[in-house]
Amino acid sequence: MVESKGERIVLDPIAPALDPIGLWERLDKNPPTQGIVTLPDHIRDIDMFARRYGIHPMGPLFFFPEQVPKLGMDPIWAEKELPGGLVPLYDARGRAETPIWVPDKRVIIFGDALTERGGELRVWDSPWHLKRELPALREMLSLPFDRVIVSHCDTDPVQPREEFERALGRPPWHG
């Protein structure tokens, strides 16, 4: 969950099968006010969170047929400010992902565009890697951010800006 400007936002939420860490108890004490999904295959449990906390989710413009949210979802658009001052960014991969910039936390949150493997941040490969994806990611360097957060990693999901800059020069990750 991200707290920003009075909002508590769950991003790409996943409900735990078992809850040994007390997720539900923690969220129930300070419930989310918004749910945001960054890409189509991260829809997963957004309906469960929306029902439980009475929030109306926001997310991508398209979904995979088996994952259409039952409660509906307002689309998010690159550069159009969201609740809490969050800003969706253009990633150039055919709207497959919308990274989220949290200005007051100085962080960019990625769903799948980046991955961390063996302590090294890498850009996921795509058919548009050189022509569109890398230029869009380089454009993000104009933003005042200190860290990026990735959802797929071996060791640490929180990486410094400098590691993001280095990732743009590394060979893409073929996962």
Residue 165 pLDDT: 98
- CA nearest 46: which of 82, 72, 77? 72
Q: All domains of the chain, ordered by start, with CATH? A: 1-77 (3.60.15.10), 89-175 (no CATH)
Query: What confidence tens digit (pLDDT) does each residue in 9-66 have?
Result: 999 999 988 887 889 999 999 999 999 999 888 888 999 999 999 998 999 887 777 7
pLDDT at 95: 64
For position 92, what pLDDT does the model report?
83
Give the pLDDT band (50/70/90) at residue 96.
Answer: confident
pLDDT band at 127 (very low <50, low <70, confident <90, very high): confident
* C-alpha span between 40 and 21 (Å, rounded): 27
- Of 72, 68, 151, give the one whose Cα is nearest residue 109: 151
* Conformational region of residue 133, where left means phi above 0, alpha means psi within -120 to 50, and beta covers everything else: alpha
pTM, 2 dp: 0.92
